[in-house]
Amino acid sequence: MTPLENFDKAVSYITREGVQNLVNWIKNETDFFTAPASTNYHGNYEGGLLDHTLLVLRFALHNFNMIISQNPDLEYLRESVVISALFHDLCKTNCYIKELKWVKDSENKWKSYTGWTIKDTFPYGHGEKSVLLISKYMKLTDPEAMAIRWHMGATEPSVSIPNNPQYYAFNSAINHPLVRLIHCADMLAMALEETRSIKLT
């Protein structure tokens, strides 16, 4: 299956009212399927954002299945896992543009290449921006909103500052199993992507 087919298959498991309006917006008004996941690190190629999203979903569902094998009472979170993983990085849509960049080669000579740079026309943060964009079309549960908001976990700069309100908020939110699950899936996906030089399929 292609990445787009995998995305559509994942969406088909979501029964939440408004999901089709959200998907229509993603497909018709964003570059979600062609954007990179970053400018220089994981998924920094065309289509990288979609690949990263699907990898996060795979890790999240794999780990969730292990969790419910020990705690079946959490099965009710399955749809939330799909929603949170599939849409956690919508904040990265319509943000990256291609531009000519320069780098020195092995002979210390400058050579040009086409790279990515950020041009965010709606600078509203990271996880919180994804929550806002989703909420325009589909209602999120509180745990879903927290999982998406805090998916970067302690790697978010504001979280590393003691006595900062964000520090306290994250350290409280991470206690919810959905928040922890999505954060771990995102970290695992990035770790795998950054150690592979080939495009993930």
- pLDDT per residue, tens digit, the chain (201 aa), is 899 999 999 999 999 999 999 999 999 999 999 999 888 777 888 999 999 999 999 999 999 999 999 999 999 999 999 999 999 999 999 999 888 888 888 888 898 877 788 888 899 989 999 999 999 999 999 999 999 999 988 777 777 777 778 888 888 889 999 999 999 999 999 988 766 543 433
pLDDT of residue 97: 86
pLDDT of residue 99: 83
**What is the torsion angle, in degrees rounded to the nearest 10, for the CA atoms of residue 123, residue 10, residue 150 and residue 125?**
0
Please tell me the distance from the alpha carbon of residue 182 to that of residue 146, in angstroms, as a whole number. Answer: 10
pLDDT of residue 198: 39
pLDDT of residue 156: 77
Q: Which of 44, 71, 68, 42 is nearest to 56 (CA)?
A: 42
pLDDT of residue 170: 84
pLDDT of residue 168: 84
Contact criterion met (CB below 8 Å) for 77 and 64: yes
Number of helices followed by number of strands (H, E) in the chain: 8, 2
